[in-house]
Amino acid sequence: MDFLEHNALYVVGIISAVIWFGLFLFMFGVERRVRKLEREP
């Protein structure tokens, strides 16, 4: 726990980056599904 106490800013940055990356992947998947639906007659 010593790392978390002295490097809290890094931990927050890493967690934020993981959340943004997950959100990007989710939106990419939604975009692909929408594009597939738009192509259907």
> Would you write out the chain's pLDDT as a tens digit for each of its 41 residues?
787 789 989 999 999 999 999 999 999 999 999 999 999 87
The sign of the torsion formed by the CA atoms of 8, 11, 17, 23 equals negative
Q: CA-CA-CA-CA torsion for 30, 35, 37, 41, nearest 10 degrees? A: 180
List C-alpha distances in Å: 14 to 7, 19, 21, 22, 38.
11, 9, 10, 12, 36
Kindly give, in sequence order, each residue whose CB lies less than 8 Å from that of residue 11, ignoring residues fewer than 6 positions away: 4
**Lookup result for tokens 């809290």:** 8
What is the pTM for the complete model shown? 0.72
